[in-house]
Amino acid sequence: MDKVNKSYPMGEESLHALKDISLTIEKGDYLTILGPSGSGKTTLMNILGCMDTLDGGTYQFEDMEVEKCSDKELSRIRNQKIGFIFQKYNLIPQYTAMQNIIMPLLLRGMGRDEALRKADETISLVGLSDRVLHKPKELSGGQQQRVAIARALVTEPSLLLADEPTGSLDSATGQEILTLFQKLNDNGNTIIVISHDIKVAQQSKRIISIFDGNLLE
């Protein structure tokens, strides 16, 4: 992205959430965008994830100029190119781990046998093969986050975007998730983590600091 700006109306004035943000992310990168509450990191995440529009500048995702994409095209990018991992897991409580993981594939129209095969491979990668029939309430926080990671991975996205992925976990379990991220990155996955925690950031390859809408690497 190059010279990206984003503002929100605040009464008669505007809040400048992002100010001339320029950032290059290469395939296989593992970076953390680090900043306190109100720094602009959530807005930047929403732009990177094609969940919000920019007011100025350019953002190229692979060969697509995002600011020129239609809503339908943006939806396709989110569904096919980006895997989202959230602090609160966002699992469907009445579904088993397997059902949560396989759902994105079935929604794409993939046949059930092929979807099960891909889901099995992904579950094995995150170390949850013995918990596939358990529902979220029967899993620990770390196990739920592993299900969420597997759900994000199963569609083979170009980018994994993780928003405070260890924020709801104790330090030991959080470290397990960060170790898993390192393994995924070693396997070639491009990962962007959004965090306020310097200890989380220090385990990535690059740290991008954001403060008052300004970026500093």
Contact 43, 18 (CB under 8 A): yes
- Other Cβ atoms within 10 Å of 2 Cβ, number: 12
- Counted residue by residue, the chain has a size of 217
Does pLDDT of 213 surpass 80?
yes
Q: Which long-range contacts (CB under 8 A, 24 or more apart) does 127-135 make?
A: 127/180, 128/97, 131/97, 132/96, 132/97, 132/98, 133/96, 133/97, 133/98, 134/96, 134/97, 135/93, 135/94, 135/95, 135/96, 135/97
pLDDT in tens, 158-196: 999 999 988 888 899 899 999 999 999 999 999 999 999
Q: For residue 97, what are the CA distances in angstroms to 63, 130, 148?
A: 34, 10, 9
Kindly state the tokens that stand for 74. Answer: 């943006």
pLDDT in tens, 128-142: 889 999 999 999 999
Residue 44 lies in a domain: yes
Residue 132 lies in a domain: no
104 in helix, strand or coil?
A: helix
Kindly state the tokens that stand for 105. Answer: 């594939």
Backbone angles phi, psi at 163, to 5 degrees: -100, 105
Computed over every residue of the chain, the mean pLDDT equals 91
Q: Total structural domains in the chain?
A: 1
Residue 118 lies in a domain: no
What are the helix and strand counts (H, E) for the chain? 7, 11
Residue 17 lies in a domain: yes
Residue 201 lies in a domain: yes
Whole-angstrom distance, CA of residue 129 vs CA of residue 143: 11
pLDDT band for 2, please (50, 70, 90 cuts).
very high
Residue 146 lies in a domain: no
Q: What is the CATH number of the domain that holds 197?
A: 3.40.50.300
Residue 149 lies in a domain: no
Where in the sequence is the domain holding 207, given as residue range(s)? 2-90+156-216
Residue 140 lies in a domain: no
pLDDT in tens, 48-70: 999 998 999 999 999 899 999 99
95 in helix, strand or coil?
A: coil
